[in-house]
Structure 1
Amino acid sequence: MQSLNKTLQELMRGQNIVGNIQQTMKQVYADEDVQAFLNRNRDRLSKEAIRRGESKLYEFFHEKQLIKKGVPTVAPGYSPQLIISAGQVDVTYVPTKQLIEQQRQRHIKRLVSSINMPKFIKNASYDDYYLNEDMQTDTRMRAMQAAMDFTENYTKNNFQPGLYLYGKFGVGKTYLLGAIANELAKTKEIATTMVHFPSFAVEMRNSIKQNNTGQKLDAIKRAPVLMLDDIGAGAMTTWVRDDILGVILEYRMQEELPTFFSSNFSMTELQNNHLAINTQGDNEPLKAERIMERIKFLSREVEMEGKNLRDKG
């Protein structure tokens, strides 16, 4: 077995440290954390065990100094801790608070999945919602309050209807849906799936060729929280209305799974002008009513008015 001095020399040389070993170890033993560790374990560590563990004490001290200087360490994102292993001094590395927070934020973002949704929903939050004096309206305030009430009161085993947000282009409907999804992820660790419905309808039609329509539909309808954005914006074929939207809503109603919608149309307008009239121009009011019954069960209508937030002028 090589001597302790040789071990330390090799360790210090590998870390580009030149100097007197005794002087270096004097600094190590003067470190508050090293002293606290040795005092805390003085009944468990003999002098010989401490002497044999000097390379570990030095490793701990050196890595800690690198972290203070902001220099890359042997384990980025982890901080060294002195421990006793099999009666010997050893060093373990534990995640820093910063790394834990980064991991938590990544976990939160993974809880919100989106299909053909705008990038801004990733960072949407209640704090940045459009409630400044220039943008504030009574309906935006009511929508915001309804959203906050949902996220505050929602629990997995107690059905709570979502929101049906409607209003003109650019009033903040999609942003508010994103804020709700992010808040659920952050405070309740609830997974949300956000779907731009017109794009999803096109995707479902294309999936027929790949024979995976059922798989895609199943993933959407089972989402713990589902948000269908811009419903009513695209042409509604009978197949999309009955075999896609209808199947999703029927499953979610039976399972009592919260569902959100955004639309440029009120519920009445959506039913009469969009769901009832198919792409061939046929009027099918009973089928439209059936779909709307499920939407009304799953959500509560909230109007949003205000300036077009997309207008940069």
Structure 2
Amino acid sequence: MESLGEMLQQMKSPQFRQRSEQILNNLLHDPLIQELRSRHPEISENQLTLNLSKLYQYVNDSRHCSACPGLDLCPNDFQGHFTRLTVETVTGRSQLYDRQVPCSKHLAREREIEVKKRIHSFYVDERAMQEGYDMVEIMSKDSMRSPAVGQVFRYINETRENGLSPHGLYLVGHFGTGKTFLMTYLLHELAKAGHSGVIVYMPEFVEDLKSMLQDSQKLKETVEIMKEADLLIFDDIGAENLNPWVRDHVMGAILNYRMNRKPTFYTSNYDLKALEKHLSFTSKDGEEAHKGQRLMDRIAPFVDVVAVNGTNKRGSRK
């Protein structure tokens, strides 16, 4: 390793001075610095010379950003940030300041992270949660489901404008018509507006509840999350293998708390009449029509039914 004395000696050499002068000359004639000087003629060349490192960082970051390889490959010293130069007057003198500023890609990722923090998923395929279709793409995927898509969009816009209502949506249709995707899209869009949300895949959730019987704290926390979320989606309701405890003490408690307070959403292959019949029957106690009706009294009055038509898109992008 070179000693400090050796380094200082090199700095005094003609080659070092020549190289420094060349760097300064190149920087002062760089279009970015020329543009800065035209905006701030009060900054002298001597001040620019004293801030050589700031100018170099500013030009270097700007070049990297103009050929951005993406956030994960950002070559700037502070990933996802670039150097911004400003001129400010301090005690009567103009001074050059540099700041590290987050780029648009970094800000977009931060916003997306915040959105995902507001969404809690139970057993739903993560691929469904990560889709990023825009409105035009969704509408163009299948004209048969356009009326349903329109209703979902209207609900999103009305909630953005007027806030949450206790009324949700009940999406009904055949397998693979995109019901889950439409609900995850709604969840994501309203999470961007600041609302928290939970989506639950019912068949696996009901099975997992059996193990929660041995962990009362986990069960309590799970139920509280579903009660308190701004938006709750029961995905594929009707496909689960119900037992009386799940129906009466878990779902009943959640829906009883949410009705008239917060919206609950559903996707199902069953219409409301068929769902009531499904909820009336359990493997343990057989058919109990009054208990199915009791639960439906907490569902049907608080949803608008949306028929989702179209072709089966399972295995392809919805």
Per-residue deviation, 1:26 = 1.4
Q: Distance in 1 between matches of 2:248 and 2:113?
A: 37
TM-score by length of 2: 0.80
Q: Deviations over 1:33-86 (max 9, x none)?
A: 43444555555x676644432333233233334444557221222111124587
Aligned partner (choices 120, 123, 126) of residue 131 of structure 2: 123
Percent of pairs with identical residues: 25
Aligned partner (choices 167, 170, 173) of residue 164 of structure 1: 170
Matched, 1:283 2:281: no
Matched, 1:73 2:93: no
Instruction: Give the aligned length.
Output: 294
Matched, 1:97 2:100: no
Checking the alignment, whether the CA contact within 8 Å between 1:174 and 1:229 is kept in structure 2 is: yes
Structure-2 residue corresponding to 1:306:
310
Q: Deviations over 1:126-146 (max 9, x none)?
A: 4443755xx432xx2221121
Structure-2 residue corresponding to 1:151:
156
Q: 1:245 to 1:174 in 2, by over 3 A?
A: same
Q: 1:146 to 1:200 in 2, by over 3 A?
A: same
Moved more, 274-283 or 216-225: 274-283
Q: Distance in 1 between matches of 2:157 and 2:86?
A: 42
Q: 1:52 to 1:296 in 2, by over 3 A?
A: same
Q: Distance in 2 between matches of 1:46 and 1:131?
A: 58
Checking the alignment, whether the CA contact within 8 Å between 1:109 and 1:122 is kept in structure 2 is: no
Moved more, 89-98 or 212-221: 89-98
Moved more, 84-93 or 261-270: 84-93
Moved more, 165-174 or 150-159: 150-159
The amino acid of 1:299's aligned partner reads: V
Moved more, 256-265 or 110-119: 110-119
Q: 1:170 to 1:22 in 2, by over 3 A?
A: same
Specify every segment of 5 or more residues in structure 1 that has no aligned partner in the other structure, as ranges: 11-16
Q: Distance in 2 between matches of 1:74 and 1:211?
A: 49
Map residues 16-55 of structure 1 onto 2, 5 A cutoff.
20-38=19-37, 40=39, 43=42, 49-55=47-53
Q: 1:93 to 1:181 in 2, by over 3 A?
A: same
Structure-2 residue corresponding to 1:13:
none
Matched, 1:269 2:278: no
Q: Deviations over 1:289-313 (max 9, x none)?
A: 121111123211222333322278x
The amino acid of 1:307's aligned partner reads: T
TM-score by length of 1: 0.81
Q: Distance in 2 between matches of 1:96 and 1:18?
A: 35
Q: Distance in 2 between matches of 1:207 and 1:221?
A: 17
Matched, 1:231 2:231: no
SS in 2 for 1:294: coil
Q: Distance in 2 between matches of 1:184 and 1:54?
A: 47
Aligned partner (choices 182, 187, 210) of residue 181 of structure 1: 187
Matched, 1:56 2:60: no
Matched, 1:208 2:209: no
The amino acid of 2:313's aligned partner reads: L
Structure-2 residue corresponding to 1:247:
253
CA-atom RMSD, angstroms? 3.2
Per-residue deviation, 1:158 = 4.5
Moved more, 231-240 or 107-116: 107-116
